[in-house]
């Protein structure tokens, strides 16, 4: 009878740890401790984009083949870049954000269309997420997960330590 309780407790603990642990995407090397985004994510050749970083404790360097290198100074959250006039419509360009020793990438698409934009006109794009895996993840989630794991472990410990009733020996 004791073996059944121990096995049940072990399975319950394993299930709880599996369900409460954060999931990682296999092969996703774009996970950083800082957030980053390009707004808009689709822009016309010659247009302007805003390069934003969150939680970067260093000056952030932003590079791409479609605009000159840009530095977001320490303490600031964004900077702007002007896309080259000769950027190929429909092309997808990689934008690399570097904060200290970490780097992450996102894509910037050059818009296709029949007409040219007049100077000063901005193309509105889809608002991008925070980049990386930090979106929506905070200390509260970690605390709740820790409490759940501790509760499962405590319950499993109590079940394994419970003594059989004297009438069922």
pTM, full prediction: 0.52
93 pLDDT more than 90: yes
Burial of 145 (C-beta count, 10 Å sphere; 0-12/13-18/19+): middle
Question: H or E segment at 60?
Answer: strand 60-64
Predicted confidence (pLDDT) per residue in 12-65, tens digit: 666 665 655 554 443 445 688 899 999 999 999 999 999 999 999 999 999 999
Residue 3 contacts by C-beta under 8 Å, 6 or more apart in sequence? Answer: none
Going from N- to C-terminal start, the domains of the chain cover 1-22+137-169, 29-135
Quote the pLDDT of residue 51: 95
How far apart CA 57 and CA 76 sit, in angstroms, is 10
How far apart CA 95 and CA 52 sit, in angstroms, is 12
* Superfamily for domain range 29-135: Immunoglobulins (2.60.40.10)
């Amino acid at each position: 009878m004791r073996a059944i309780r121990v096995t049940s407790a072990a399975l319950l603990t394993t299930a709880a740890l599996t369900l409460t642990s954060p999931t990682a995407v296999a092969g996703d090397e774009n996970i950083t401790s800082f957030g980053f985004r390009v707004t808009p994510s689709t822009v016309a050749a010659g247009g302007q984009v805003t390069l934003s970083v969150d939680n970067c404790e260093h000056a952030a360097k932003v590079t791409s083949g479609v605009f000159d290198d840009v530095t977001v100074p320490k303490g600031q959250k964004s900077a702007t870049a002007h896309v080259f006039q000769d950027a190929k419509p429909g092309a997808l360009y990689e934008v690399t954000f570097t904060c200290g020793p970490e780097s992450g990438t996102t894509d910037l698409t050059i818009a296709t269309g029949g007409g040219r934009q007049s100077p000063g006109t901005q193309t509105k794009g889809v608002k991008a997420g925070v980049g990386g895996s930090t979106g929506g993840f905070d200390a509260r989630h970690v605390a709740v997960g820790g409490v759940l794991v501790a509760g499962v472990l405590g319950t499993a410990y109590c079940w394994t330590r419970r003594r059989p009733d004297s009438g069922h020996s």
